[in-house]
Homo-oligomer: A and B are copies of this chain.
């Protein structure tokens, strides 16, 4: 077995999930993740914790959803039907768990393609109780490199393995410290300005709290890899070009350009994917406002792989999300921009660019002011 699989398991168990002796761990292993599931089992055992491993097979899920649809006469085209509420045995499992590890990495990213999306959503809604019980644990989600994911990324398997391990096997402690520095600057700042190609945008961040997303439950960050600092902006003014392509709901979006006035988007266009963007924007009023400003800081991620969990963490990029803001970024008891959607779009800062807080340059051409490459 590739030695990096064990290193990955160690980062997951120690840095991300902070598993300790005597804890009850649930590991949910997708079809293609058996090697990582073995390495995780070894590491969980070595820490003296207890383990139950669940199958996270998308094909088993598909079979169950199709079977139940047949039982309940759900055709799924118009509405998703009624699925059973979170079953008691599954609920009891999660309610008695301290940690849940989700190992993504199937053998076919289209495994659920012939389950109507209304059916998937209905089944998911019915399992809210299970999801909430899971979210109440120290849960962490990660990705094992599989051929299916390599294919989605347009990469060879070997290149994709290297990509994933470069992103996962970081010096997380050091990165968390650097991200803490960015967080501090954002926390005490009032206004952020982003300047880049066809981009000049200002956002208010006064009284907002940035999140140091350091891939560890200790930072309330539940994805491995992570590596971004994000906050919830307000009163956006100006225009922004998202020059890195994204797939949204299966559609390619390229060079989306948005114009904001008084916090609201007043104009937009895109070189590709206007249809899906329109769908997003017309969801509700909150979908025309920004919910997130994120600064990618994972230097192990140097290319796009059409997977938002990686793409938005790429160093020397920033991303903005239309829609819902995270409560963690708001003062206690306050809520931010509300919407049914949260759609990220990414801007490349590797060209001529500048990110400043209250007039002080924090990053130029994608390099922070404390980096050697920074040109003052």
Which residues on A are within 8 Å of B, measured CB to CB? 21-22, 24, 26, 29, 31, 34, 37-39, 41-48, 50-55, 57, 59-72, 84, 87-97
Please indicate the chain B residues that have their CB under 8 angstroms from the CB of A71 in the complex. Answer: 21, 45-48
Copies of this protein, total: 2
Q: Which 3 A-B pairs have the closest CB atoms?
A: A45-B67, A50-B87, A92-B92
Report the nearest B residue to A93, measured CB to CB.
B93
If the complex has contacts A39-B63, A71-B46, are A53 and B52 also in contact, measured as CB distance less than 8 A? no
Q: Chain B residues with Cβ under 8 A from A39's Cβ?
A: 63
Which residues from chain B contact A89 at a C-beta distance below 8 Å?
24, 26, 50, 52, 92-94, 96-97
| Cα(A95)–Cα(B90), bound, Å | 11
Distance of A103 Cα from B93 Cα, bound (Å)? 20
23 contacts between A and B (CB under 8 A): A24-B87, A24-B89, A26-B89, A29-B55, A38-B60, A41-B60, A41-B61, A42-B63, A42-B67, A45-B64, A45-B67, A45-B68, A45-B71, A46-B67, A46-B68, A46-B71, A52-B87, A52-B90, A53-B55, A55-B55, A87-B96, A89-B93, A89-B94
A235, chain B: closest CB distance, angstroms? 46
Q: Which residues of B contact A29 (CB under 8 A)?
A: 55, 60
Q: Which residues of B contact A93 (CB under 8 A)?
A: 52, 89-90, 92-93
List chain B residues, Cβ under 8 A from A47.
67, 71
Q: State A297–B48 Cα separation when bound (angstroms).
A: 47
Residues of B within 8 A of A64 (CB): 41-42, 44-45, 51
Most chain B C-beta atoms within 10 Å of own C-beta, residue among A44, A45, A94: A45
**Residue contact B52 to A68, C-beta cutoff 8 Å:** no
Chain B residues in 8 Å Cβ range of A57 = 34, 37-38, 53
Q: For the complex formed, measure the closest distance between the CB of A66 and the CB atoms of chain B, giving whole angstroms.
A: 6
